[in-house]
Every structure is written in C-alpha cells, then in structure tokens.
Amino acid sequence: MKLAMPRFDQAPVLVVGDVMLDRYWHGSTQRISPEAPVPVVNVQQREDRPGGAANVALNIAALGAPAYVVGVTGQDEAADALSERLTAAGVASQFQRIATQPTIVKLRVMSRHQQLLRLDFEEPFNTDTDALAADVEQLLDQVKVLILSDYGKGALKNHQALIQLARARGISVLADPKGCDFSIYRGASLITPNLHEFETIVGKCHDEAELVAKGEALMHELELGALLITRSEQGMTLLRPGQPELHLPARAREVFDVTGAGDTVISTLAAAIAAGEELPQAVALANLAAGIVVGKLGTAAISAPELRRAVQREQGSERGVMNVEQLLVAIEDARAHGEKVVFTNGCFDIIHAGHVGYLEDARREGDRLIVGINDDASVSRLKGPGRPINSVDRRMAVLAGLGAVDWVVSFSEDTPERLLEAIRPDVLVKGGDYGIDGVVGAPIVQAYGGTVKVLSFVDSCSTTAIVEKIKTQRD
C-alpha cells in the first residue's frame, strides 16, 4: 500500500467527549513504609498532561492539524491546568464547567518509569446536553471530521443528536465506543472498538472468519460506514460494507506503555480522513502511529516528524535520491530528531576510492550526509567537452548506494550556492588542498552560524587522472 504524509494543516477536526487531566508524580523509592508493606515514593517531579478526549485533540494538533475540543469539566484548578496545556499546544477548547463536580483527574505515581499506583478523582457528570450540542453546532462549519471520544464518564449523552448534526453537513463522524450498547453510535461513519469491546457486543470470536462475519452483521445493524477493530498484538482489522476485509499487522518494535494508544489511532485516522486520504491509507497511517506511541511512557502525542519518518521508513524512502522539496522535508525531520546535517558537493563523474573515503570522512562530521551533484550541463561547462562520462541519473544512483550517503540531490548551476541557501546545512564539507576561504558557499554557511571544513581526498585518486589513463591505454 502506497503511503504519503497528508496535508494535515488543511485538516481541521473537532473532538467531543470526556476530557480529563492525567497527572504524573515521579520520584525515587529507596525504602518500604514501616506502616504497611508498600514502597515510599519521594516525589521529585510533577507533570500534568491532557487525557481522554483532550489527549485525542492534543494528538491531532501535534500532527499539525487544526484541533478543537468540546467537553465537560469542574470549576476547579484541574480544569484551569487542562485548559492552559491545551491552549499552549494550539488546541481550541470549549468546556462546560460544572461548579458542583470535579474535573476528572487520573493521578499516577511513578518510580523509575514504572507505575506504582493510580488514583482516580471522578464522578459522572450531569451534562447539559442541549448546551453541549449548541457548542458543537457552532464549530461544525469549521471542521471536516467529528470525533466522539467516549469514555463513559457522562459528557456524551446525546450521541445521536451529535451524529445527525454532523451528517447533515456531510461531515464524517468517528466514534471511539464504550459500554455495552453500541446502538447509540448508529449512523456513524466509523467506530473503533478494541477486540474486547467488540466481543462484549457480538460475543467471542474464535477465528478470523467469525470476527469478519460478526463485524459485517454489526455494521449492517447499526448502519455504519466502516468498522475498525484494534486487536493489540494482532494489529487491526478494517471492515467496510461490500468490500474485502483489510488486516494490518501490529507495527510496534517495543511495547513500553499502551496508555493512550486508542487515542492515537482515532486522532491520526480522523486527521488523515480530514486531509482527504482514502480509508485504507488513513488506517495504515493510524497503525504506524500506534506502533510509535506504545513505545512511549504514559499518554503521549505523536508529532508530524515522527509519523513522517515512519512513513518514509515504510516506503523505503528514508534515504536515497530526492528533489529539493523532498530534501527540505527530510532535513526538517532530521532536525526535529536532533540530527546534524552535513553537505558536500561535486561532479562525481567516476566514483573511485578517493570519493568513497572522502564521503565516509564527511559523514563522520554529523548524523546525515547530503551530496549535491552537478547535472550534466553544468559538468560539461566545468570539465569541458566529453564530460560527464556518466549521466546524472547514473551518478546519483551510485552515490545513493554508498553507506555513508543519506540523500543525493542534483543542481543545475555551476555552484551549489542557491541549494545551500535553501537547505542551510549545519556543516559544509569540501575536499581539496585549499583553505576554507576558497570553499564555494562558505560565506553563506558561516553567515547563519554553520561550520565549514576542508577534507583531503585519498592520494593519487582523481576522476581526471583515471580518464587520462584510459585515453592513454586506448591510444
């Protein structure tokens, strides 16, 4: 399946549901309490994160998509903390605040990255459903997808009214269901139960055929547009009326914490659909995102660079030949991961041992090596008639196959100055026996604080010398 990063910046999504605050108290444990056989935690760090429906909205914003969230909270410090963190992340929040009830808070006591205890502060909300629907209706014209993030805490009591409001405007409705009655999600575009939630409704599924059959029956009964069953280590299964089932394997390399994985799935799925992706591609992106998030501690958001890198890895395009636009995206991702970018350039007409050694040395100057290569016309201008011997496509293919090289890009000018201004590498490397002042593009790189270095080629290796030797032997 061909995957690409969607235009998330053009994919506004509204999340409605049970917002909560996830609190983490971190500390060391060095002794057992004399009062009871439990560890004593010396709390040294406190951290607040948006949870529940708020975490779904946070994930959407982290992907670069406009995110809105409507929910119910108390009139308390926890609600203020939740609102502040969402605003800081770029999420527009609108809460129905109830003074007589507390904001839902889940407090986790952590030590050495292990959860020792969780304390929940909550009670079912007495939601004003008409006011909530009015808040949602005001925002629907600004979004392309509506998510019902249902944790069964009381914020969502009028599912059908919200579904009908959205569908009347042609807006897709995605629901993360809870409870033993899925009829409240009738008419949704897609629901995303996990396997346990699905089997609670339809009964135990003993094999794939039974799971598919029961899923199709549920879709027909509830008039659903699609059904996505998340199955933990067995991946995901997408069912659509009249189409073959799609099974996607789990993508996690290492499972550290499954907290919030469902939020990541539905948020990525919704943002991809809002960006215009077809459902199978959107599900595949959500599957990749879930594989990333379970390797993190606690509720965590997946950033656009993280997902983009996973997509590139999936397509085998993390390295190799690129155009300038693709290269700029790759550089953005590299820097988002704290990587230093190195650039060098040349004609590289006949790759020889000197080139290979030089490029390996250049790669050691940073984490990613870009090689800019003169196109055929500029090589002819620089080297004279009969050059290049190898076309630019062949030269780029050979360079891309070297282990030291991450990305190869061509340029048509005689010098790479315009390319340097666009990509702004951290380090500019050039091979030769001249000083830094003689390196083309050095002033450009030095002006923004980059580094310029001159490295030596292997002695007695040069393309010109090789060409002359071939000519001599031929004559």
> Is the distance from CB of 402 to CB of 354 less than 8 angstroms?
no
Q: Over range 290-294, report the average pLDDT.
A: 76
- Give the least confident one: 242-251, 262-271, 394-403: 242-251
> Does the pLDDT at position 255 exceed 70?
no
In angstroms, rounded to a whole number, what is the distance separating the alpha carbons of residues 434 and 451?
A: 16
> Does the pLDDT at position 163 exceed 90?
yes
What kind and span of H or E run contains 232?
A: none
Instruction: Dig out the tokens for 169 from the structure.
Output: 């405007």
Q: What is the pLDDT of residues 330-339, one digit of tens each?
A: 888 788 878 8
Please tell me the predicted confidence (pLDDT) of residue 472. Answer: 61
As to burial, measured by CB atoms within 10 angstroms (0-12 exposed, 13-18 middle, 19+ buried), residue 242 is exposed
In angstroms, rounded to a whole number, what is the distance separating the alpha carbons of residues 265 and 293?
A: 9
151 vs 300, higher pLDDT = 151
Pairing label, strands 236-240, 341-346: unpaired
Mind giving me the DSSP string for 239-257? EETTEEEEEE----SS-S-
Please tell me the predicted confidence (pLDDT) of residue 445. Answer: 95
Q: What is the pLDDT of residues 210-219, one digit of tens each?
A: 999 999 999 9
Instruction: Dig out the tokens for 186 from the structure.
Output: 């009738």
pLDDT grade for 437, boundaries at 50, 70 and 90? confident
For the four alpha carbons of 328, 331, 336 and 342, in that order, the dihedral sign comes to negative
In angstroms, rounded to a whole number, what is the distance separating the alpha carbons of residues 449 and 338?
A: 17
Q: Which segments of 179-226 does DSSP mark as H helices, in order?
A: 195-202, 208-222
**What does the DSSP 8-state code read for residue 252?**
-
Catalytic annotation, residues = 263
Q: Over range 107-119, report the average pLDDT.
A: 92
